[in-house]
């Protein structure tokens, strides 16, 4: 969830889910309550029709006519059931629709009251029932209590509620998808300036642009202005840094040249040769340390990806000529997904020292492998079939001027330089045993590192 667009879409989706969920619940409750009130009105109308149809017979008992206005009461299993009961006795009349069924009507309410209730048949069919108790005046002037009961199946009502819920979920799902699509299109337009800044920063890193463009939205204008000031300041500081180092280089080269001239006038002896060796080492150190900042100052601001395989092949071609007498077999195994983001000179200095040492100490074979790291970067492994490096001596070799064999040409700063470059890029250096039998040096450089 590192993407700002993904976070916004997720936040909006959660808000829509909560809002639409609450709306669906409210509409469902409102629809159900309205349906129940409508069902009650229908039952009340049925009950009034029964009251209108009831008549006392010659014996003084209240009876219902054989044909009723509502045909469903005369159809077996129609879902509409009615019953007329007298107080303290069995029902005096039941509708033909309830034939073979036991409808569990509730107890009779107080005279003059009507009560709605929910009941259930033996097979689980839900019913809504309405009961009304009355005091019926017979022709003889006697008042006798009767209870009118009517009930209707809720299967049709529940089916309508279920259909409404399906439509409700379908409608809101469609609306939510349309809204998310519209919001994503709107956010795409709103976030376009951020993508523009990202692209322009990449162009600045590659040296194809000098500063961020103007005319950005108000919220981003100050960010772009401060970024341009920072870029300008860094370029100015780099220029001053390079000028200072150039002056320092000239200041150091003159005394070193003078010392070397004085030594050349002296007769050759061991002391002169040792001093000459140290002067040469100082020159090498000065050349490398003063050349590096100059390489870093360019039109680009930031780091770019180095063509690893191309640079390594050039390096191998050059070393093959240097060690043509030894003629070592240098094998390259470079994964194209590996990347080194930095100065090409740093990469050549790093890989050149490692491969040069391997060629110097190998018997006949050198293996250079470069693999990608998770999250970007590279892991470079350089191994040979030489005598190897003692475990106790590995850390000493990373110190400037330390060498295992003084008889071998060199100044003892190569691995120290490799260590400095690797750590300046957030990487690390490790020693081990190569599958070829000799030493193996592993360099890991992550893809992103804040210096």
Distance separating alpha carbons of residues 138 and 217, to the nearest angstrom: 90
Distance separating alpha carbons of residues 117 and 195, to the nearest angstrom: 64
The predicted pLDDT at position 268 comes to 64
Instruction: Find, among 166, 148, 50, 135, the residue nearest to 106 by Cα.
Output: 148
What confidence tens digit (pLDDT) does each residue in 194-230 have? 888 888 888 877 677 888 888 888 878 888 888 888 8
- C-beta neighbour count of 420 within 10 angstroms: 20
Ordered domains of the chain (ranges, CATH): 4-160 (3.30.450), 218-296 (1.10.287), 305-446 (3.30.565.10)
CA distances from 87 to 48, 68, 115, 149, 410 (A): 20, 23, 17, 13, 122
| pLDDT band for position 297 (cuts 50, 70, 90) | very low
The answer to whether 383 and 411 have CB atoms below 8 angstroms apart is no
- Summary mean pLDDT of the chain: 82
The predicted pLDDT at position 82 comes to 93
The answer to whether 109 and 84 have CB atoms below 8 angstroms apart is no
| Letter string b/e over residues 252-268, b meaning 16 or more CB atoms within 10 A of that residue's CB | eeeeeeeeeeeeeeeee
Share of the chain above pLDDT 90, in %: 25
What confidence tens digit (pLDDT) does each residue in 267-294 have? 666 777 767 766 776 776 666 566 555 5
What confidence tens digit (pLDDT) does each residue in 74-121 have? 888 889 999 998 876 778 899 999 888 889 988 888 888 889 999 999
């Amino acid at each position: 969830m590192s993407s700002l667009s993904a976070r916004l879409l997720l936040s909006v989706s959660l808000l829509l889910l909560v809002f639409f969920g609450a709306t669906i619940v409210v509409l469902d409750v409102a629809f159900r309550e309205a349906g129940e009130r409508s069902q009650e009105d229908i039952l009340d109308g049925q009950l009034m029709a029964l009251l209108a149809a009831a008549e006392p017979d010659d014996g003084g008992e209240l009876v219902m006519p054989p044909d009723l206005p509502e045909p469903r009461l005369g159809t077996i299993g129609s879902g509409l059931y009615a019953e007329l009961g007298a107080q303290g006795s069995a029902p005096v009349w039941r509708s033909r629709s309830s034939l073979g069924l036991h409808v569990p009507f509730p107890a009779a309410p107080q005279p003059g009251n009507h009560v709605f209730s929910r009941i259930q048949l033996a097979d689980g069919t839900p019913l809504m029932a309405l009961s009304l108790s009355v005091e019926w005046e017979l022709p003889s002037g006697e008042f006798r209590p009767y209870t009118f009961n009517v009930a209707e199946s809720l299967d049709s009502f529940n089916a309508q509620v279920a259909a409404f819920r399906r439509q409700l979920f379908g409608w809101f799902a469609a609306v939510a998808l349309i809204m998310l699509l519209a919001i994503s299109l709107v956010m795409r337009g709103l976030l376009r300036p951020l993508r523009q800044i990202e692209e322009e920063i990449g162009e600045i890193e590659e040296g194809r642009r000098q500063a961020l463009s103007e005319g950005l939205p108000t919220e981003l204008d100050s960010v772009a202005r401060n970024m341009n000031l920072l870029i300008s300041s860094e370029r100015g500081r780099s220029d001053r840094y390079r000028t200072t180092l150039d002056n320092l280089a000239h200041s150091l080269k003159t005394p070193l040249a003078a010392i070397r001239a004085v030594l050349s006038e002296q007769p050759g002896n061991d002391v002169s040769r040792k001093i000459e060796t140290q002067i040469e080492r100082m020159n090498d150190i000065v050349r490398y340390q003063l050349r590096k900042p100059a390489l870093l100052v360019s039109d680009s601001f930031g780091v770019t990806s180095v063509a690893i395989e191309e640079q390594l092949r050039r390096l191998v071609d050059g070393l093959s000529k240097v060690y043509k007498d030894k003629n070592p077999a240098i094998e390259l195994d470079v994964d194209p997904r590996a990347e080194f983001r930095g100065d090409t000179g740093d990469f050549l200095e790093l890989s050149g020292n490692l491969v040069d040492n391997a060629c110097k100490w190998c018997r006949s074979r050198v293996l250079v492998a470069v693999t990608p790291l998770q999250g970007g970067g590279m892991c470079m492994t350089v191994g040979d079939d030489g005598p190897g490096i003692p475990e106790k001596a590995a850390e000493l070799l990373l110190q400037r001027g330390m060498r295992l064999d003084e008889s071998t040409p060199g100044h003892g700063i190569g691995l120290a330089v490799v260590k400095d470059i690797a750590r300046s890029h957030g990487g690390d250096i490790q020693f081990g045993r190569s599958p070829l039998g000799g030493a193996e040096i592993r360099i890991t450089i992550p893809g992103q590192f804040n210096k």
